[in-house]
Every structure is written in C-alpha cells, then in structure tokens.
C-alpha cells in the first residue's frame, strides 16, 4: 500500500452542502478513473470513534494535474475538520484502491446511474471516457439543481460529444425543465436503446443502488452487466 503526504491547494463549494478539496499530485502517484483513496487528517483538533481517516473517491480524472475529492459536509468530527482546512494543510493519502473502473474494451457502451455524492467517481470516469470517445449515457439524480455537484461543469464538458448523453433528473423541483421524478424503466428506455446491451455502473447511497439494481432487473438487464459501489454516510 502506497502512502503519500499531500498538500491542500484550495477548496471549492461545488453544490449546496458539498465541498471539493484539491491537492497537489504526489510524484509517481498513478490511478485509474473511478478509484478511491484513504485520506487521513494529521493531528486534527477533534476526532471521533471512526478515527481520523475516510475512504473518498477521486473525482479528478487521471489526466488532471491535481487530485480532487468531494464530500457532503455533515456534523461529524471528521467532516467539521475537513470543512475548515486551510490551503497548505498536509494530509496523508493512502491508495489508490478499488475496481469500480472503466472496462478495457473502449467499444462497450456504458450507462452510469448515480445520485448525490455518487457523482464523484463518475466525474472521473466520464472525463476519461470523453478522451477515449466511448459511448456513454449518464443518468444523474438529485433533489434540486443546487444539490447537483459538478452538473454545470459536466454539461459543458459533453457539449459537442455526440457519443455522450447526460440526463439530469430532479426529484423535488417542480420548476425544473428537464426530467423529473425518479429514474424508472420508462425513463431508461427513453435514453438507452437496447437496454440489455450496455455495461451499467450504479453508485451512490445504498438505497439508490438497491433500487436501481431492481429497476435494471425489471428491464431485463443481466446481472453480469451491472457494476456497483455503495456510498454509506458518515
């Protein structure tokens, strides 16, 4: 397991209650889009029973110069300290970990179904997919647009890419002009012709992942065409 010291360069609010943290990339650190790391606070002013480290997905793409993670801010010791970090703070990074990554075959059509903070590894994989001209559909669910981390950035990134379809879905915003309500088989079929053919990536809160797995089963998607990653709260 590789261990690095990383220095916080800046932070950015990327949605309501969601903070992105950017770090200088250590020499020799390589990773695949979709992987995660363990970030450990060094001598934090407070801690809790969960300790000083957490597993966080890398939202940055492998080609980007800096490393970036994003997290929902909660009222826990770790999140309180993380939310108050100043540029120049040094943390410990361990990893990378995980196999929630793109398939080696770039011709396989991909469908990402995610919600909330589950967008973090998907951002990384989508940026990588764009450079490789993969066929991608992203169904991205949130309550409101202001809750949707990276939405504007991703909308701009996919402009002009005919192989990529981004479908934001709002579950609690009557004024939203796009897709509203919950992702179901009918919505899936509107945007994914031949629903049994793509490779599906599901991630986000456990309840969302479970519901989307059941929805895909209803649509007739074989279980071996589904990859999942659950994000439990902390």
Compute mean pLDDT per 10 residues along the chain, 234 residues long, and list them. 95 97 97 98 93 96 97 93 97 97 98 96 98 98 97 96 97 95 96 96 94 97 96 65
Confidence at residue 232, expressed as pLDDT on a 0 to 100 scale:
72
Q: Can you say how many angstroms the Cα of residue 181 is from the centroid of all Cα atoms in its chain?
A: 21
Same topology for domains 3-97 and 110-230, yes or no?
no
pLDDT for the residue 163: 94
First to last CA, the chain: 24
| pTM for this prediction | 0.95
- 110-230 folds as Rossmann fold (3.40.50)
Domain boundaries, the chain: 3-97, 110-230
CATH code at 3-97 = 2.40.30.10
- Does an H or E element contain 78, and which? helix 77-83
Question: What is the C-alpha separation between 138 and 125, in angstroms, rounded?
Answer: 11
């Amino acid at each position: 397991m590789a261990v690095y010291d990383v220095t916080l360069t800046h932070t950015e609010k990327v949605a309501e209650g969601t903070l992105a943290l950017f770090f200088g990339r250590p020499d020799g650190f390589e990773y695949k889009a979709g992987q995660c790391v363990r970030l450990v606070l060094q001598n934090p002013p407070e801690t809790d029973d969960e300790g000083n480290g957490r597993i966080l997905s890398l939202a940055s793409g492998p080609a980007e110069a800096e490393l970036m993670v994003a997290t929902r801010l909660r009222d826990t010791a770790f999140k309180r300290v993380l939310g108050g970090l100043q540029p120049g703070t040094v943390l410990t990074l361990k990893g990378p970990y995980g196999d929630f990554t793109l398939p080696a075959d770039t011709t396989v059509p991909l469908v990402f179904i995610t919600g909330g903070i589950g967008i973090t590894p998907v951002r990384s994989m989508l940026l990588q997919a764009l450079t490789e001209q993969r066929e991608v559909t992203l169904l991205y669910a949130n309550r409101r647009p202001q809750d949707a981390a990276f939405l504007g950035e991703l909308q701009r990134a996919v402009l002009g890419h005919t192989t990529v379809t981004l479908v934001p879905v709002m579950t609690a915003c009557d004024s939203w002009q796009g897709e509203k309500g919950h992702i179901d088989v009918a919505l899936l079929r509107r945007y994914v012709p031949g629903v049994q053919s793509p490779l599906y990536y599901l991630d986000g809160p456990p309840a969302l992942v479970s519901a989307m797995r059941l929805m895909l089963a209803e649509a007739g998607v074989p279980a071996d065409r589904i990859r999942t990653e659950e994000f439990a709260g902390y």
